[in-house]
Amino acid sequence: MNSWLSLVLACSLPVFCSAKSCDQKARGLGSRIGGFLSCSVNHAVPVTVCLGCHENFTLMASDYAEFMSNPSCAKRYTQEDRFDVIQTAYVNVASIWEKGFCSDCYDTNGTESLEVSHIMNIATDLDNCMVDKGNLFCNLCLANYENLNIFYNEFVKKHKDKICFDVQDKVNRTRSKWSENCCPRKASLTIFFSTIPVAFLLSIIFYGTSVGVYRRTPEHSALIDEESEQNIEEVATSDTWAGANTQVNLTRNAPANLLDEIIVRRQPGPSSTLESNAVVAI
């Protein structure tokens, strides 16, 4: 009784009562912010934040607008709070909704748009078809896949690439699964590496064949004969010079009595006399 009476008397002071009310509202807003943040984490993969956390975001935004519209509360938690905790927390958390273009998932009255609902249903039907049909889904689910592409491409053109992240993630995951199984775009590395030895062997065969064909041509044969004759002449010339040099060296190194004997033996003939004189001169 005394505590209740104290509260009534305290609330008779406008300043105290206003501060008490703002503190309660601040704690309530903090709970709303935490609720939306927790919901966003739980719906992060696969992305279903826009469709799964719409109620949490609506309640958070409503409480924040009400809190900031109160001058006393806004002053107390913006001007007097140097950290600006409430506004900073709300802006950072609300950016998740804005970056995901979540508002584009809904009509102006806040209900999920018929286009988004239709595309999500088509994507879900395709996912179920790929599971039910097993290895044959590439053929049996082709109509579902084409239907999804038609509606999604029209949706992208209409919204000018500002697509709700839930829809983007759903369609991208479905397309990725379809492409991996039905539209392989990359050749197998095993096939690539197996062709390297074959290409190398073919290069060697081509080079060897080209050289063999070239050597059999008349022009190449004539060139080889000419080079052979030139080599023979060079060898003969070198042998002649080598013989002459050998004879000169032997004559220079011969003893004096041997030179005299050579001169005596060659004296009868005129030609021999000339050769002997040439040797002595050397």
DSSP states of 101-164: TGGGGB-TTSSBPHHHHHHHHHHHHHHHHHHHSGGGHHHHTHHHHHHHHHHHHHHHHHHTT---
Distance from C-alpha of 173 to C-alpha of 165, rounded to nearest angstrom: 12
Helix axes 256-265, 270-281, angle to 10 degrees: 160
Q: How many CB atoms lie within 10 A of CB 33?
A: 20
The two three-digit tokens of residue 207, written as one number = 């080079």
Q: How many CB atoms lie within 10 A of CB 20?
A: 13
Please state the rounded mean pLDDT for residues 21-46.
94
Contact 87, 127 (CB under 8 A): no
pLDDT digits (tens, 9 = 90+) for 104-134: 999 988 899 999 999 999 999 999 999 998 8
Q: Which phi and psi angles does 106 have, rounded to 5°?
A: -125, 155
Q: pLDDT-based confidence at 272, cuts 50/70/90?
A: very low
Contact 43, 49 (CB under 8 A): yes
pTM (predicted TM-score): 0.59
